[in-house]
Amino acid sequence: MSERKETRGQFITGARDPVSGQRWVHVTGEMVAAHPQGRLNLALYAVVVFLFGMAAWRLVLWTFVFGGVWMGVEVVFFLLAAAALFFRLPPGGWMGITACAMILVDFATGMKGAWGGQLWALGEAVAAVAAGFYLLTGERPNFIYRHRYLAGDAGEGGSDV
């Protein structure tokens, strides 16, 4: 326990990613909350609104068209993911990515094909790919939800600029 208190507030540089070669600096949740980049930006608000809208749309489909357990699970999960993203909870990033994957599963299985909403499903899939890619690779989502940011090469002879 005393070791944790000693490292609190310090930057911890991780090992290089073997695939991309990037190095992440890990910070604490308190440091993220205190930093101006630790707040939601327009893109993250858009992802939250997208997931909330998908929950509302799935609720309409569940109630009036399809029924079943899967749509109910999606409604609950999309609402939880949107709330976790909005309140900047660490599982929010992965929940958002999982919610986007659920939309892609619906698109791939043709869940809305019988209803005649193929074009709408394609739009959902495109938006889900964009939102999921941003949650997975964006600098601000990595900082807020995974408490890490990309390190510069200043310590290796480069510059931080």
What is the pTM for the complete model shown? 0.81
Query: Tell me, what amino acid is at 149?
Result: Y
CB-based burial label for 137 (10 Å; 0-12, 13-18, 19+): exposed
Nearest to 85 by CA among 39, 133, 31: 39
Q: Domain residue spans in the chain?
A: 40-140
pLDDT of residue 18: 74
pLDDT of residue 67: 75
pLDDT of residue 22: 81
List, for the chain, all residue ranges whose pLDDT scores fall below the cut of 50. 1-6, 154-161
